[in-house]
Amino acid sequence: MSKVRVGLGDRAYDILIGSGAFQAAAGALRTLTEKPSAIVADETVLGLYDGVLEAVFGEMPIITLPSGESAKSFAEYARVSEELLAAGVERGGSVVALGGGVTGDLAGFCAATLRRGCKLVMVPTTLLSQVDSSVGGKTAVNTRAGKNLVGAFHQPSLVVIDTDFLASLPPRELLAGYAEVVKYGALGDESFFAWLERHSGTVLACEEEALRHVIETSCRMKAEVVAEDEREAGRRALLNLGHTFGHAVEAEAGYGGGVLHGEAVALGMAMAARFSVARGLAAQADADRLERHLASVGLPTRLAALNGFDASAETLLGHMMQDKKVEGGTLTLILMRRLGEAFVAKDQDQRVVLEFLEKERALAPS
C-alpha cells in the first residue's frame, strides 16, 4: 500500500491506498472499532461487499443509506444518528463510512455531532470520494438553499482507499470522479494535467498503476493544503475551483441524479476558466485546453450540454450567492491565471457575473 500522511499535529492521520487495501488494513480498522462502533454504508455498496465487511469487522452493526445525493438530508441525518445511538456507539468508538461522497459527508456529520464527537473512519468506494471528499474533514448535509450548507469540520482517524472497489463503479460515476482529478491539475499542477491529457484512457479503464498514481497525487495535494489551511481560511478555498458555478447548477437541477456532482464540477471549471478569460486574467488557450480535455472524456463543459436544463441567469446567480465563500454579501470565485495556477478572487461584481451567465446560456454544446 501507499501511505499519505495528513499532518495535523495530534490529529494527524494516514491515507492508505492500493489494491486490497481494505483487508490489508484490517488490523488498524479493528483497533479503531474496539469500543462500540457501527458502519454507515451505501445500500448498493453493501449489497456488493457485505461479505468483505464481515470478514474485517465481524458482527458490527450496519446502518444503510439510500444511494444518491438526496440522502444528504436533515431527515437522513436524524434517522442515522438515532440508529447509531440505538446501536450503542460510544464517544470512544467509531463511525465507519463505506460508500461514496454522500455517505462520507452524511456519516461524517453524524460522527461530528454524535455524543458531541466520536471517531470517524473513511472507506471511500467511488473515485470522487477517494480523491477528494474522504480527505480533509468536511462533513455536511444539503438544504433547500443549497449544497453542503449545514455541516462541521471533523477529521477522520483513518482513510482506507481500496482501488478494487472501483471495479464495480458505473462508468458515469467513474467519469464524474475523474472531474475532481482534473481539478487538481487545473488548480495547482500543470504537469499533472499534462499527464492526464496523455493517460486519461488508462485511468478510466481502471488500470491499477494509473489509478494509484492519480489517487495518490490528488491525496498528496489535498493533504498538503489541508495541513496548511484546515478550515478554509485561505489556500484551501482553491480546492473549490469550479464549485461555485457547479453547485448552482446542482441546486437548480435538484439532487435526484440528473446532474452528478463531478459533472457539475467539470462544467463549473470550464465556466470559471471562461470567466477568467473574460476578465482578462487568463489566456484563451488555457481555457480552451481545459475545456477540450474535459469534453474529450465525455464531461459537460457548457450549460447547453445538460438535457432539459434551462435555468435563468438570475436563478443561477441566486444559487451562487448562497455559496459558503460569500462574505459581506459579496461573491468570491476561484479563478485561473493559467492552467496549474488558480487563485481566490473576492468581491466579484454581481452584474458582471450575471452578464457572463447570460452569455453562457447562449453557448452551443461543445
Full DSSP string of 212-230? HHHHHHHHHHHHHHHHH-T
**Boundaries of every domain in the chain:** 2-168, 182-362
Q: Is 182 annotated as a binding residue?
A: no
**According to the model, what pLDDT value does residue 149 have?**
93
C-alpha cell at 34: 474496539
Q: Is 243 annotated as a binding residue?
A: yes
- Is residue 18 within 8 Å of 212, Cβ to Cβ? yes
The yes/no answer on whether domain 182-362 falls in CATH 1.20.1090.10 is yes
Q: 192 falls in which pLDDT band (50, 70, 90)?
A: very high
Q: Is 104 annotated as a binding residue?
A: yes
Mean pLDDT confidence for 320-340: 94
**According to the model, what pLDDT value does residue 338 have?**
98
**According to the model, what pLDDT value does residue 90 have?**
95
Percent of the chain with pLDDT over 70: 100
Mean pLDDT confidence for 179-183: 98
- Say what the pTM is: 0.96
How many CA atoms lie within 13 Å of 316's alpha carbon, on the beta-carbon side?
26
| Residues with active-site annotation | 116, 138, 180, 222, 232, 236, 240, 243, 247, 261
Give bridge partners of residue 3 from the DSSP assignment. 16
Q: Is 197 annotated as a binding residue?
A: no
Q: Is 359 annotated as a binding residue?
A: no
**According to the model, what pLDDT value does residue 205 have?**
97
User: Does 366 have pLDDT greater than 80?
Assistant: no
* CATH among 1.10.10.10, 3.40.50.1970, 3.40.50.1110, 1.10.150.120 for 2-168: 3.40.50.1970
Q: What does the CA dihedral 171, 175, 176, 182 come to, rounded to 10 degrees?
A: 170
User: Does 322 have pLDDT greater than 80?
Assistant: yes
- Is residue 332 within 8 Å of 323, Cβ to Cβ? yes
Q: Other CB atoms closer than 10 Å to residue 353's CB: what's the count?
A: 20
How many CA atoms lie within 13 Å of 183's alpha carbon, on the beta-carbon side?
36
Mean pLDDT confidence for 229-258: 94
Q: Is 3 annotated as a binding residue?
A: no
Q: 256 falls in which pLDDT band (50, 70, 90)?
A: confident
- Is residue 331 within 8 Å of 321, Cβ to Cβ? yes
User: Does 145 have pLDDT greater than 90?
Assistant: no
Q: Is 68 annotated as a binding residue?
A: yes
Q: Other CB atoms closer than 10 Å to residue 90's CB: what's the count?
A: 13
- The string of pLDDT tens digits covering residues 257-314 is 899 999 999 999 999 999 999 999 999 999 999 999 999 999 999 999 999 899 999 9
